[in-house]
Amino acid sequence: MEYRTDPGKNVPESPIRTKSLIDSVRYAFRGLFYGFRTERNFMTYLCIIVVLFVVNLIIGIRPMEHLAFFICAIGAVSAEFTNTAIEHIANYLTTDLHESIRRAKDLGAAAVLVWGFVFFGFEGVLLCRAFFG
């Protein structure tokens, strides 16, 4: 196997390379809307986040706790986007059952699970503190 000393040297430009920052942002929003429009888990997370945000307003958590809540929520949703991207790529590459594909999908799902534990664990701490002092 030959190792390249400069991986960026002599690499042809991708035909789908974005031409501007505005294009990059437009593609990112397209992905965002696609995820929320087509993937059930995104809408589930969005509903849970809205409900818990309202609950947090009612119980009167501090501003820094709101910030931490949103960091946890965005982490969970970001992991879900990453997992969905992994699944789409894997499904595009092959429809055959393959151990490496299964592991990639499982690892993507594990990222979502870890962020879910953080998100719901943090919310549990907020609720316990609010109700039990």
Q: Print pLDDT tens along the chain (133 aa).
A: 444 455 555 655 666 666 789 999 999 999 999 999 999 989 999 999 999 999 999 999 999 999 999 999 999 999 999 999 999 999 999 888 889 999 999 999 999 999 999 999 999 999 999 889 7
Q: In this structure, is residue 84 part of a structural domain? A: yes
Write down the pTM of the prediction: 0.78
SS3 content of the chain, % helix, strand, coil (to 5): 75, 0, 25
Is 16 inside a domain boundary? no
Question: In CATH, what number is assigned to the domain containing residue 96?
Answer: 1.10.287.3610
What is the tens place of the pLDDT at every residue in 9-37? 565 566 666 678 999 999 999 999 999 99
Domain assignment of residue 68, yes or no: yes
Give the domain range for residue 51: 21-132
Residue 127 lies in a domain: yes
Query: What DSSP character marks residue 98?
Result: -
Task: Name the region of 3 (left: φ>0; alpha: ψ -120 to 50; beta: rest).
Answer: beta
User: What is the total count of domains within the chain?
Assistant: 1
